[in-house]
Amino acid sequence: MKTRSPQLMRIFLLMFFLPGTILAQDDLLAELERESTPETEYTFATFKSTRLGNGHTIETKAAGALEFIFGHRFGSMRGGAYEMFGLDQAFVRLGLDYGITDKLSVGIGRNSFDKTMDGNLKYKALRQSKGVKNFPVSVTAFGSLAYKLSPKSNSSVSPDFQNTDRITYIGQLLIARKFSPGLSLQLMPTIVHKNYVESYEDNDQFALGMGGRIKLTPSIALTTEYYFNFNAPDNDTLLEDLKRYNSFTLGIDIETGGHVFQLLLTNAIGLNERAFITETQDNFFDGDIHLGFNVTRTFQLKKNK
């Protein structure tokens, strides 16, 4: 009996302590999870940059972040070695985008193509989310005004040409869904209103853009963007110099900390919506391809939160 009792006690002790200790570790973590309040998870980083190719993505700069964006489009590669495959020619847009809030941003820029100044406002209206609130897509509203400085004198266009005729308004809805961390797709219904057009063009032109990105590595992504213009003039009735084509872009995004480098192949050389959606004069699929790049650098002007 004397020898058995400690054993018995041990068994009893084991019975009371052991199950508790074994279960408790997992229980404690499970308990934490159970008691945590369910939340809405908003999708972030649908795209790496505020630009998909030539046009915009749903992304805006965060509050207090200023981005310097340097867009560059070379000449057509068709020029061959004599034109250094387009590198002898270049169109540049210098721009600044600033996040007023995490949802609202403002941007300005000047494009050497047609000497166009542009300003834009961008607002993240809806965000893709899951959890308590489920929403399938992110929607950003984009509005822009572009002012064409060229040609210098109004009278060289037509006798009654006014300064206001140099203005184009652009309205866009950017609708995107991040299907997975590696795949995001975007639709861009667009209206371009030009105050002045030539006889073969419409003042209001509707277009639908579509595009997306596939991430190859955490820092590198392939991108594509295509804008279909429903009100494009009929090319069959136009002279070769006036023919219009839909813009198409293939690109690669490379991100390094505060920089994003976007290398592009595109048929558009203008870097505002009026120019690349309605005035692209080269045909990508006929070999009129231009090399281009966007380089961005972000500066945090105000501390995050």
Partner 1 sequence: MSLSALFFSVIVLSFNSLLAQKFVAEKSSVSFYSSAPFENIDAKNTKSSAVFDSSSDEIAFSIPIKEFQFPKSLMQEHFNEKYLESEKYPKSTFSGKIIGFKGNVSGVQSVTAVGKLMIHGITRDVTIPGTIERLGEALIMKSQFIVKLEDYKIKIPQLMWKNIAEQVEVTVEFTFKPKQ
Contact with partner 1 (CB under 8 A) among 49, 55, 58, 63: 63
∠ CA 254-256-257, nearest 5°, is 140
> Which among 7-15, 89-97, 164-172, 234-242 is the span making contact with partner 1, rule CB under 8 A?
7-15
Q: With beta carbons less than 8 A apart as the criterion, state whether 118 and 97 touch.
A: no
Distance CA 172, CA 193 (A): 11
- Give every CB contact of residue 267 below 8 A, 6+ residues apart in sequence: 245, 247, 248, 280, 282, 283, 284, 288, 289, 290
Find the binder of partner 1 among 16, 159, 199, 234 (CB under 8 A). Answer: 16
Where does this chain touch partner 1 (CB under 8 A) — which range of 19-27, 84-92, 206-214, 267-275?
Answer: 19-27
d(Cα 266, Cα 287) in Å, to the nearest integer?
10
Stretch that binds partner 1, among 33-41, 84-92, 226-234, 279-287 (CB under 8 A): 33-41
Alpha-carbon distance 142 to 124, whole Å?
Answer: 9
Q: To the nearest whole angstrom, how small is the minimum distance from the Cβ of residue 25 to partner 1?
A: 5
143 binds partner 1 (CB under 8 A): no
Residue 25 found at the interface with partner 1 (CB under 8 A): yes
Among 65, 170, 174, 207, binds partner 1 (CB under 8 A): 65
Alpha helices (runs of H) in 106-220, residue ranges in sequence order: none
Binding part of the chain for partner 1, among 68-76, 86-94, 161-169, 296-304 by CB under 8 A, reads 296-304
- Taking every pair of Cα atoms in the chain, the longest distance, rounded to a whole number of angstroms, is 121
The verdict on 237 binding partner 1 (CB under 8 A) reads: no
Exposed, middle or buried by CB within 10 Å (0-12, 13-18, 19+), for 217? exposed
6 vs 151, which CB is nearer to partner 1? 6
CA torsion sign, 268 to 274 to 279 to 285?
positive
Least Å distance between CB 180 and partner 1?
Answer: 9
Taking the least distance from each CB to partner 1, the nearer of 43 and 249 is 43
Cα–chain center distance at 276: 15
* Cα(64)–Cα(47) distance, integer angstroms: 19
Q: Does 3 bind partner 1 (CB under 8 A)?
A: no
Least Cβ distance, residue 45 to partner 1 (angstroms): 4
- Binding mask of the shown chain, residues 206 to 225, with x at each position contacting partner 1 by CB under 8 A: -----------xxx------
* 36 belongs to the binding site for partner 1 (CB under 8 A): yes
Token pair 């997306």 in the structure block, residue = 212
Binding of partner 1 by 256 (CB under 8 A): yes
User: ∠ CA 136-214-72 to the nearest 5 degrees?
Assistant: 110
Nearer to partner 1, 62 or 141 (CB): 62
Is 159 one of the binding residues for partner 1 (CB under 8 A)? no
Coil, strand or helix at 160: coil
Q: Alpha-carbon distance 55 to 277, whole Å?
A: 9
Binding residues (CB under 8 A) for partner 1: these are: 1, 4-5, 8-9, 12-13, 15-17, 20-21, 24-26, 28-29, 31-33, 35-36, 41, 44-45, 62-65, 99, 102, 181, 217-219, 254-258, 298, 300, 303-305
